[in-house]
Structures are given as structure tokens and as C-alpha cells.
Structure 1
Amino acid sequence: MKARQVGAAFRRARQLSAPFAAQWRHMFIQTQPTPNAHAVKFLPGREVLPSTTPTAHFPSLTSARNSPLARRLFAVQGVRSVFFGSDFVTVTKTDDVDWGVLRPEIFAVIMDFFTDATEKVVLLTDDDQRQLNDTAILEDDSEVVAMIKELLETRVKPAVAEDGGTIVFRGFEDSSGTVKLEMQGACSTCSSSSITLKNGVENMLRHYVPEVKRVEQVSNELDDPVEQANLQAFNNMQHKLNPS
């Protein structure tokens, strides 16, 4: 869907000094809806994560200890989870708050953070960095695992990123032919995410990698998922992964 460009926090900007206010006026944030009605993709018009850090997912406040921006976003009442991509921030809300109330507060937090520009979005250790590169092909990877990672990186992740999320490779069981994947970002709280994996990702992997028999969804999300997720997540992903 076409992004709509919006300016936010003008009232707050007028309260600031002229030079600082000008900086605010020159920063615009684009928003894009996602297949999940509880998640919105915010594009600040600048790099969010460096190329060495493909994505970062924070399903709770406690998981955001290494991200100053995520912690600020969690301070906004109604924010359920936060996801960062290379140039976007996906915020998922709880079902008891309206976007009309939440959106301006999120704009203000993102603008404050990038205008200040004194902190990194995410502070990662070397071990954290290695874990994030889930589809990096390692020397000890089998040919099957390497093919799975390549397909996820080139075919699946770009499609999911358009909807404000990602799919993370969590392992492959040779004995059962099971690929374990975790959905993060906008689609992680969709009730249709398991259908998306089965009918979209699983079919594609089985087509190109005969050793793959099934896909299993794993999750590090909170135990109380949002019940009313947009079923369009399934239809949208199906079309992108299997356009024919």
C-alpha cells in the first residue's frame, strides 16, 4: 500500500528554540499499514540499523535492555512490541488502545531520538551480532541448511520486510525434515501466521529443497497474543511468495 507522509509533533516543535524547531520541521516520518491491524511501520527517512545488523526484535520491555530507542517506545502506554529493520520501525500495539492516540506519541519518540542523535538504536555485543545473522552460511552448514538459508534470505525475508517484519531461521532437523522458523515484527502476533508459514514458506522450501518435509513455527513472544489480528496477513504473504 502507498505510504503516506506525515509530519508530527508540530505543537511541541513550536515550543522549542527556532534552530531546533527547524530541525523538527525538516524531519518527516512515513507510515505504512501492515497486514496486521495492530502493527504500523514507521519510516523516519534515515538509517535505523546498519547493514551489519539486519533486524532487531523486542517482544517486551525486558528484552529491550540494549536498545535506547526501544526502551523509549515501550514507555508509551499501549506499545506491545518493537521491531527494527534497516530503515523502518514497526510498532505493535495492544488491543485496548487506538492508533489515533498512539501514533502521535510514537512520532514524537522517534523524532526526539533521531534529532538528538546521541545514542545508537541498538547496542550489540559480538555474540548478539552473530545470533542476528541467522541466515549467514557457516562452514559447518550442510548443503541442505545452506540452501534453506539462501532461500530465506533471497526470497522470503524481502517479502516479509515489506510488511514490517522478518522470518528468523531457528534450525533444521534432518531426521524429520523440519525447518524451525520464528516470525518477528508485524506478523508475529497474527493468528494467521502459522497458515502463512504452512501455505507460503513451507510450500516454497519443499519445492526447492526435497529434504524439507515441514515447517514448524517457534516463538519468543509473550504468552498473551493479540486475538484480533488481520487475516489479510495470510493473503498478502501468499500472493508475494506464490504469485502464480
Structure 2
Amino acid sequence: WRSMFIQTQSTPNANSVKLLPGEPVLGKVATAEFNSIRDAQTSPLARKLLVIDGVNSVFLAKDFITVTKDSHVEWAVLRPELFEAIMDHYSSGEPVLSEGALPDHDCTIYPEDSDVVAMIKELLETRVKPAVADDGGNIIFRGFDEVSGVVDLELQGACSSCSSSSVTLKMGVENMLKHYVPEVREVREVKGEEKAELDSVSNKALSDLESKLLEKGYIR
């Protein structure tokens, strides 16, 4: 592992770099993002990178890692530490994600998805995600409101703090979705707190549904 060759690729975000270790990272079509050491309890690799002074967030994908840094820290200083942490991880034999930790499979199409949601997920998976991954980032589907026609998307990796990402979201992704899916009227970016709020609303809705099903004896 000491002879491991880690490639670096620049991204549209000057504070993010894409690292390709030449080994599988998540090794499957899924992603995971960590914005603090506390977040990274399920990922030994992300923890090793987040303890480095100046590292803000770590994004893991199939075969690459995107690290986003503080603007006042120079890559020349940070890069050797990042390389060392990655090599240490791969020589340790530890998993990238702990057993039981779930990567983000946001575009899986479920039987209960409407035709519109299924089409949105398919377009994101086949047309948007590959292009965004080239730049060291990802776009996560967080929901579609059938009434307002608003699609909620979360930006990850190099995209999440890039000044041009909101323009890309509006001009590129929104226009493409509206073209193929007439029911889509707008694309909205969901950030940290809003995402937590959406998750809690979703969890409450699931909990309420479960209670109703229990009452009616559909589930035991």
C-alpha cells in the first residue's frame, strides 16, 4: 500500500479536490457525505480525513473521494496529509463504511413511486449524476411535490459549496427535468437544516402511517 498511487483532479470549486486512490472507495453505485467528525462515526476513512486541520467535508463515491477545505488552507500543505490518511486507511484493512451503515441510494425506484417520480429519478441517475460525478460531486433526490411541481435536490461534494452550482441547478437540471417531465415546474436546492426538517417531516409521516396501519390491523 505504500506504493499506492493517488491521482488528484481539480474541480470547478477551488476549495474541493477529487482524489482517486486506484482502489474501490464505496465500490458500488452509491454515495455518502460527511460534514463533521461526529457525522463520520460510520466511516473510518472519512474520520481519518476530517481530523486533519482545514478539512471541512468528505464525500465518498464509487471510486473517488472529494475533500473540501477551508479557504485559508493551501492545498500544498493539505495534500500530503490527505495522501497519508488515505494510504493509512487502505493499509489498515478497515472498511470504508462500517457494517450496517447505508450509503445514499436516493434514486432507487420503488413500487409506490408515481410515474413522475420514477421518471425524475431515472433522469437524475442516467443523465445528471454521471456528469456531476466528473466534477467530484453528486446530486441527491430529496422529494417531489405533486401539487406545486417542485423537485427538492441536495448538492454534495464539490458541488455543495461551489458558487456556480446554483446556476447549474437552475439552468441545467431544472431545464432538463422540465423538458422531459412537464409536471416539474421548479427545482429547489435543499441545504443542511432544510434537509433535516424534510427528513423529520418524512419520518413523522411514516410514523403516522404506521400508527394508522396498526390501528386497522394491517400490520402487527
CA contact (8 A) 1:80 1:93 kept: yes
Q: Among residues 85, 88, 103, which one is paired with 2:61 in the alignment? A: 85
Q: Among residues 41, 48, 59, which one is paired with 2:25 in the alignment? A: 48
Q: Distance in 2 between matches of 1:95 and 1:170?
A: 29
Unaligned runs of 5+ in 1: 1-22, 222-244
How much identity, in percent, do the aligned residues show? Answer: 60
Q: Which residue of structure 2 aligns with residue 185 of structure 1?
A: 157
The correspondence of residues 125-204 of structure 1 with structure 2, limited to 5 A, is 125=100, 128-129=102-103, 132-204=104-176
TM-score for the superposition, normalised by structure 2: 0.85
Question: Could you tell me how far 1:192 is from its partner in structure 2?
Answer: 2.2
Question: Could you tell me how far 1:115 is from its partner in structure 2?
Answer: 1.8
Q: Which residue of structure 1 aligns with residue 199 of structure 2?
A: none
User: How many matched pairs?
Assistant: 193
Unaligned runs of 5+ in 2: 194-220
Question: Could you tell me how far 1:125 is from its partner in structure 2?
Answer: 2.8
SS at match of 1:203: helix
Q: Which residue of structure 1 aligns with residue 13 of structure 2?
A: 36
Q: Among residues 95, 118, 128, which one is paired with 1:120 in the alignment? A: 95
Is 2:2 aligned against 1:24?
Answer: yes
Q: Which residue of structure 2 aligns with residue 214 of structure 1?
A: 186
Q: Distance in 1 between matches of 2:36 and 2:187?
A: 26
Question: Could you tell me how far 1:195 is from its partner in structure 2?
Answer: 1.1
SS at match of 1:190: coil
Q: Distance in 2 between matches of 1:199 and 1:68?
A: 37
Q: Distance in 2 between matches of 1:124 and 1:195?
A: 37
SS at match of 1:215: strand
1:181-217, CA deviations, whole angstroms, 9 ceiling, x for partnerless residues?
0000001001222111100100000000000000000
RMSD of equivalent CA atoms: 1.3
CA contact (8 A) 1:59 1:220 kept: no
1:57-112, CA deviations, whole angstroms, 9 ceiling, x for partnerless residues?
11222211101111110111000000011111100000111000000100000011
The correspondence of residues 99-118 of structure 1 with structure 2, limited to 5 A, is 99-117=75-93
1:30-61, CA deviations, whole angstroms, 9 ceiling, x for partnerless residues?
0000010000011000100031x611111222
TM-score for the superposition, normalised by structure 1: 0.77
Q: Distance in 2 between matches of 1:153 and 1:124?
A: 25
Q: Which residue of structure 2 aligns with residue 68 of structure 1?
A: 44
SS at match of 1:198: helix
SS at match of 2:42: coil
Question: Could you tell me how far 1:124 is from its partner in structure 2?
Answer: 5.1
Q: Distance in 1 between matches of 2:99 and 2:139?
A: 20
Q: Among residues 57, 67, 70, which one is paired with 1:94 in the alignment? A: 70
